[in-house]
Amino acid sequence: MENFKPVMDAAELERLKANLKLSYKERFEMCTRLYKIQQTMNRATIVHKPFIAK
């Protein structure tokens, strides 16, 4: 396989640099928010009700 180097554009690099400047509290709050979203999505079920036109 060829040597693969991921290409990051300038916007992604700036976003990563901005995230490194966050405090530990801000990182923790973001992490808990993402964890709560993940837990909600894991418990979600898809319910389909047939459309009945009258």
Mean pLDDT in order along the chain per 10 residues (54 residues): 63 84 88 94 88 76
- Percent of the chain past pLDDT 70, that is, above it, reads 83
CA 39 to chain centre: 13
Provide the pLDDT for residue 12.
82
**pTM score above 0.85:** no
35 to each of 26, 28, 30, 32, 44, how far by Cα in Å? 14, 10, 9, 5, 14
Rg (CA), the chain: 20
Give the model's pLDDT for residue 22.
Answer: 85
Rounded to whole angstroms, how far apart are CA atoms 13 and 17?
A: 6
What are the φ/ψ torsions at residue 12 (nearest 5 degrees)? -65, -40
